[in-house]
Amino acid sequence: METALAILVGILVATGVYLMLARNLLRYLFGLVLLSNAANLAILAAGRLTRATPPLVPPGMMEPPLPVANPLPQALILTAIVIGFGLLAFALALLTRSYQQFQTLDSDQIREAEPVKEKKMEEAQG
């Protein structure tokens, strides 16, 4: 089972990376979605897969009957999903804002912080 999941994570990473390397920021964002899903599934796989019961203690018992799914990765993934949502929403807001500012989503053209003017400036100095 883990083998299948590992390959699936590989596919998610590959497609995610490919998207993140695109010029368009929206594709970058989609790549981020794929990558965070890949990370979550990788955590799940690292905690070992089981089709066994969810980590719930049945009424009247003090411990769940073993085997039970590993609860720790689940807790990690759960918070990771919510945090990932915050990240994606922030990225989305950033993206909207940049589009308003620059009228483009082409990351090559958004160069406010590191402008391309260096060469001209140097010529002016020299």
Partner 1 sequence: MKSIVLQTATRTFVALLLMFSIYMLLRGHNQPGGGFIAGLVAATAFTLLAMAWGVKAARQALRISPEGLAAAGLLIAGIASVIAGLFGDAPFTGQWLFLGGSETEKGLPVSSILLFDVGIYLSVLGAVLTLVFALEEND
Partner 2 sequence: MDRPHSDAAGAGRFLGLVFPLLPAIPLLFLITQWGSVAEGNVKSVSFPWVPSLGIEFSFFLDGLNLLFALLISLIGVFVAIYAGAYLRGHPMLRRFFLYLALFMVGMLGLVLAADLITLFIFWELTTISSYLLIGFNHDKASARRCALQALLLTTMGGLCLLAGLILLGYTAGTFDLQEILARGDYVRGHSLYPAILVLILLGAFTKSAQFPFHFWLPNAMAAPTPVSAYLHSATMVKAGIYLMARLHPVLGTTPLWEWTLTIVGAITATLAAILAVRQTDLKLKLAYTTVVALGTITMFFGSDDSVAIAAAITFILVHSFYKASLFMVVGIIDHQTGTRELDRLGGLGKLMPVTWFCAGAAAISMAGFPPFLGFIGKELKYEGALAIATEPTLVAGAAIFANILMVTVAGTLALKPFIGRQRPKSDDIREAHWSLWIGPLVLSTLGLTFGLFTPLIAEGLVQPAVVTLLGEPKIVKLKLWHGVNVPLIMSILTFGLGVCAYLYQRPLRAFLAFLLSFFPTTADRIWDALLEGLKRLADVQTRWLQHGILRRYLRVIFLAATAALLLALIRQDNLSLSVAIPALNVKEWTAMLLVAAGAVMASSVSAPLAAVCALGALGVGVALLYLFFGAPDVAITQLLVETLFLVLIAATLHRLPLSYGRHATRFRRLDALIAIAAGVVVTITILAVIEQPFSSPSSDYFVANSMPEAFGRNIVNVILVDFRALDTFGEVVVVFTAALSAATLVGYTLRGRRR
Q: CB under 5 to 8 A by kind: which of partner 2, partner 1, none does 43 bind? A: none
Q: How far is CA 38 from CA 92, 105, 112, 125, in A?
A: 19, 25, 32, 50
- Supply the minimum distance, in Å, between the C-beta of residue 10 and partner 1: 29
72, 98 in Cβ contact below 8 A? no
Q: Binding string to partner 2 for residues 18 to 57, with x set by CB under 8 A, is what?
A: xxxxxxx-xxx-xx-xx--xx-xxx-xxxxxxxxxxxxxx
Interface pick for partner 1 out of 60, 61, 63, 86 (rule CB under 8 A): 86
Compare residues 14 and 82 and give the one whose CB is closer to partner 1: 82
The answer to the question of residue 79 lying near partner 1 (CB under 8 A) is yes
- Supply the minimum distance, in Å, between the C-beta of residue 60 and partner 2: 10
Compare residues 45 and 124 and give the one whose CB is closer to partner 2: 45
User: Which residues, 6 or more positions from 113, have their beta carbon under 8 angstroms from its beta carbon?
Assistant: none
Q: CB under 5 to 8 A by kind: which of partner 1, partner 2, none does 58 bind? A: partner 2
Extract the tokens encoding 40: 């979550």
Distance CA 49, CA 9 (A): 14
The b-or-e profile of 71-94 (16+ CB within 10 A means b, else e) is eebeeebeebeeebeeeeeeeeee
Footprint on this chain of partner 1 (rule: CB under 8 A): 54, 56-57, 78-79, 82, 85-86, 89, 92-93, 96
